[in-house]
Structure 1
């Protein structure tokens, strides 16, 4: 059983008795591994031995978004599967932060270079956000930084009236969770939110930022996004498709189920689409938690290049017969052509270069976030400008997943309900790729069904 300390300090005792010796203390948020409570006590590993803590001051760890971890050894092997014999993918240094995807008893599934990987749980110190307060952003845009300093890396921005969950404070900075990682904002730009909405929804502390939409009220947002993590978590095991759907479900299953129900759609269909598009990820931890994008050269030609042909051809090229292939670029007109797809750092390098040439055209030419919706579809999913879509998708996973369902046309929904995945893919991914993507969606749909009782 995984639990977290819910009070400022909790005594660890030598025996399950209040008059036994205190062998140590745990601070609020510390995650402990222990047996189910027996006579009000939980036995836990402590300082190389065993100790006992009162179950009264523990709370269940049931929301992966609130869980963070740091490496507690000098070097930790990251493996391809949860086994000591599995291939070592890389090594993490002492103090490195990890993004937890799933808890598997002796192993943790983490995010590594954009893919699921595994580390032994005993070498990770886990912390759970057990307390905090709601606050509202009171400025037009609020910078979110990696550390409590104006010189720290900028992770993103929050817009006016965004509701956030503040986990703690350091001097004049407030700490919150941004895209799954600790982040900081200036406290002077936040106001405590004592509204009934905040008071009545203490269970949604995983919601760090609520998406903004002129058509939906704050109360409706709270109701819609009352939970991201489902009550029932799946064991991440099996083939690659099964691991993918289980991991994605464990992170966003509650929201996917809620939105699927509203569309009268089998959640397995939406889950499969999300997994195929981005393995269920909206942000890339190894790229400073920036939104996942894909820059399409042929679209940038459409929105900017054809009117600036000579300059475009100096920096971008692609196969004009199969426009989705052979994308290359170069910043120096005399330099060598370079491929860039497949790595978020290079995708963003090309995108930022294009954005200097024409910002709107560059944003129109990228697919964004977990659903990989192209920027030029911004009106279809309810945004007035492509910049508004880019900002919302850059802010949180909720906007991205909601965007997926807003993007589904009646015909797409009909194909999904009939499990005609190839026809759906022809509309979502393009006719040239419908067989490839249709097959992948089918495989992930089938993989999720292996977890569902018949």
Structure 2
């Protein structure tokens, strides 16, 4: 039996989040669209259920594994399973298949594996769990697996915890936002350009709707 799809975000959800952050609704919608074009959940045929949108970062797994177990053990794992632990980023499968990579990584270290993936509509890395007020990374993942509203709540916490991001989303300084949110390689993927375009689209749609 197919599991029911988790509840999607409503206009009211976006409006409430924008009020909390004191930014435009269009700005939040823009981030959501660029980070997860298909939404916060995808149906996983393999598992037979809806699961949060994820992307596993093998280079993050390597760094955290090395910090915990040491360089020699980390390199040994790189040689054994470079698809899930590597000094370089990449190895993405995409879509719901990314959960296969997480499941494989969890066999090496459950906590590190969950911390090394980005979760939900806003693709927040698991290792931020403590800074965002969750009891554990498992608690964070469970929240991300409930509904898109839970994912939006995590995004609001994430922005509130970083003054640079908060100021950037309020002023729509997309270059600064993308640099802080996506990292130094943001230009390669044109995150700033894409977010600016998405913001303009939603701002225009809102203007037409309220005309």
Q: What is the TM-score with the length of structure 1 in the denominator? A: 0.41
Q: Cα distance, 1:411 vs. partner?
A: 1.4
How far residue 398 of structure 1 moved from its aligned partner, in angstroms, is 1.4
Higher relative contact order by CA 8 Å / sep ≥ 6: 1 or 2?
2
Q: Deviations over 1:257-310 (max 9, x none)?
A: 111112211111111001110026111025421111100010010111544321
Q: Partner residue of 2:110?
A: 359
- Contact residue 274 and residue 370 of structure 1 kept, 8 A: yes
Tell me the secondary structure at the aligned position of residue 431 of structure 1.
Answer: coil
Q: Alpha carbons of 1:319 and 1:304: their partners in 2 closer, same or farther (altered >3 Å)?
A: closer
* Residue matched to 2:182: 429
Q: Structure 2: how far apart are the matches of 1:413 and 1:361?
A: 28
1:391 aligns with 2:157: no
Displacement of 1:319: 8.0
Name stretches of at least 5 consecutive residues in structure 1 with no aligned partner. Answer: 1-145, 148-154, 156-176, 181-227, 229-250, 329-339
Q: Aligned residue for 2:166? A: 413
How large is the RMSD of aligned CA atoms in angstroms?
A: 2.1
Higher normalized helix content (fraction of residues): 2
Mapped to 1, the partners of 2:206 and 2:95 lie a distance apart of 34
- Larger strand share, 1 or 2: 1
Residue 62 of structure 2 corresponds to which residue in structure 1?
301
Matched with 2:206 is 452
| Aligned 8 A contact 1:423 1:434 in 2 | no
How is 1:11-410 mapped onto 2 (pairs within 5 angstroms)? 146=1, 177-179=4-6, 251-279=9-37, 281-287=39-45, 288-305=49-66, 306=71, 307-316=73-82, 323-324=88-89, 327-328=90-91, 340-345=92-97, 347-408=98-159, 409-410=162-163
Q: CA separation of 1:296/1:395 partners in 2, compared to 1, >3 Å: closer, same or farther? A: same
What is the CA–CA distance in structure 1 between the aligned matches of 2:79 and 2:131, rounded to whole Å? 31
- Measured after TM superposition, the shift of residue 402 of structure 1 is 0.5
Cα shift readout 1:214-239 (whole Å, capped 9, x = no counterpart): xxxxxxxxxxxxxx7xxxxxxxxxxx
Structure with bigger gyration radius = 1
**Deviation for aligned residue 1:417:** 1.5
Q: Which runs of 5+ in 2 are unaligned?
A: none
> SS of the residue aligned with 1:450?
helix
How many residue pairs get aligned? The number is: 196
Take 2:184 and 2:75, find their aligned partners in 1: how far apart are those partners? 27
What is the DSSP-based 3-state SS (H/G/I as helix, E as strand, rest coil) of the residue aligned with 1:451?
helix
